[in-house]
Amino acid sequence: MTETERPLRADARRNRERIMVAAGELFARRGREAQMEEIAARAGLGMGTLYRHFPNKQALLTAMVGERFHGMAELARAAEQITDAGDAFETILRNYLEAADGDASFQLALMGSDDLEWERIRQQKAEFAAAVTRIIDRAVASGRVRADLTLADFTLVASGVISTMYFKPGGNADWRRHLQLALDGIRKPGTKGRPQRSGN
Amino acid sequence: MTETERPLRADARRNRERIMVAAGELFARRGREAQMEEIAARAGLGMGTLYRHFPNKQALLTAMVGERFHGMAELARAAEQITDAGDAFETILRNYLEAADGDASFQLALMGSDDLEWERIRQQKAEFAAAVTRIIDRAVASGRVRADLTLADFTLVASGVISTMYFKPGGNADWRRHLQLALDGIRKPGTKGRPQRSGN
DNA sequence: GCGGAAGCGGAACTCCGATTCCTGTTGGCC
DNA sequence: GGCCAACAGGAATCGGAGTTCCGCTTCCGC
């Protein structure tokens, strides 16, 4: 209700979209380092236009991250459909990481660096957490993962792998190896999950 | 040989030490965010003095991190003395992390954020890496850890845990839990290392 | 097709923190 | 005790990135 929700003029809507795209690319590549001027330039717009649509850099960043986070709850819900509890867990973790791959600002957000106004997306975050918790509970009950696994562990491990993405960008070999090590620490001791995937 | 190594005047030596202490505390608490002015103030000195001793902020940061890293090789050598190969590995990993605990700038450096002129300490880094590699080789041979473990994995896992320190500061419960999960992913599948420590 | 509100552009400005520079002070050797 | 190079202090300067301002332009309902 805070938003008066006046329909934007055609050009404004088009420009807003351009900003989102430009900001998305630059924040993804450079994280917070991306500069407002670059973003405006890449969108082919002036500074004034940029600031008409977003009151400041933080708001733009938050909007971008929020958009990226939008799909997460859906992702979790999809993983819940998987019958095998162990697979469900590995899938949500893997997909979560896959979603973070290649987007520096999103990675920072997920690692919890922020001061981002997560307020706006608190609900989606909660939804996601709830789904993951259900998946973990099921996986624990099935005996496919260590008995003491919690939602906090999910965050811990995911953030760890994301830090590899963030600090060792480039080929994705590193973070996938990190994920493999992490999964081996999570599975029920002695259990080898699924037959090893051939590739990575 | 680059340094003319002229003995510093008494007051200069004293002040340099004060700067190191002040910078150490502030960089530890706030990472790069620490400001030169704060550092000078905390050392009870003027800006000019600060800049007389270190040409710029980066140099000061590098010097601090270098000093912190100084003990690392020694740490590794000590761990090598441990008879049990598995224990040696866990000890060096644990001590490495313990050394990073509480120092934000060191954590950033170890995670590889930098642009730090690691040149100056490249040798110590190499020495440390060599010792860790020897420890890992021995642990692998002993069958106490997964057969495919490498030095790169050590870095991966350590950085992951350090990211927990960095992004979830405060109590150390989180990173220790993270370490536990990581160790469980590293130990030879089915092996339970030592009898579980009761506490953490 | 017109009027004017909504939108745009981008130069100018603000802020803040690193760095410099110049004046005053001091340790250490004769 | 006196000299003076080394050193200390800290105000002024510099520079870079975010944000503001305001005259100009464009959409859109009449």
Output the six-digit token pair for B171.
Answer: 């109590």
User: At residue A89, what is the residue type?
Assistant: F
pLDDT exceeds cutoff 80 at B1? no
Same domain, B12 and B101: no
Residue B39, Cα to own-chain centre: how many angstroms?
22
Residue B154 lies in a domain: yes
Angle between helices B85-100 and B104-111 (to 10 degrees): 130
Residue A199 has pLDDT above 50, yes or no: no
- CATH number, domain of B130, equals 1.10.357.10
Residue B124 one-letter amino acid: Q
User: What's the pLDDT band for B194 if we cut at 50, 70, 90?
Assistant: very low
Helix (H) or strand (E) holding B196: none
Task: Indicate whether B198 pLDDT > 50.
Answer: no
Same domain flag for A33 and A78: no
Nearest CA in chain A to B180: A185
Chain A contact for B156 (CB, 8 A cutoff)? yes
Q: Is residue B115 part of a domain?
A: yes
Q: What is the average pLDDT score of chain B?
A: 89
Judged against a pLDDT cut of 70, whether residue B5 lies above it is answered with no
Q: Tens digits of per-residue pLDDT, B106-140?
A: 999 999 876 666 676 788 888 999 999 999 999 99
Restricting to A residues 170-189, those with a Cβ less than 8 Å away from any Cβ of B are 174, 177-178, 181-186, 189
Q: What is the pLDDT of residues A89-124, one digit of tens each?
A: 999 999 999 999 999 999 999 998 766 667 777 888
Pairwise CB contact (< 8 Å): A112 & B167? yes
Nearest CB among A156, A161, A186 relative to B174 is that of A156
Whether B198 is in a domain gets the answer: no
Report, as an integer, the average pLDDT of A160-189.
91
Domain count, chain A: 2
Please compute the mean of the pLDDT values over residues A157-182 and round it to a whole number.
94
Task: Give the pLDDT of residue B195.
Answer: 44
Cα distances from B143 to residues A139, B76, B149, B151, B197, in angstroms, run 29, 20, 11, 16, 20
Residue A85 contacts residue A141 (beta carbons within 8 Å): yes
Q: Above 80 in pLDDT, residue A83?
A: yes
Note whether B168 contacts A: Cβ–Cβ < 8 A: yes
Domain that holds residue A40: 7-54
B2 pLDDT band (50/70/90 cuts)?
very low
In a domain, A194, yes or no: no
Reported as a pLDDT band with limits 50, 70 and 90, residue B199 is very low
Q: How far apart are CA A17 and CA A13, in angstroms?
A: 6
pLDDT tens per residue, range A129-138: 999 999 999 9
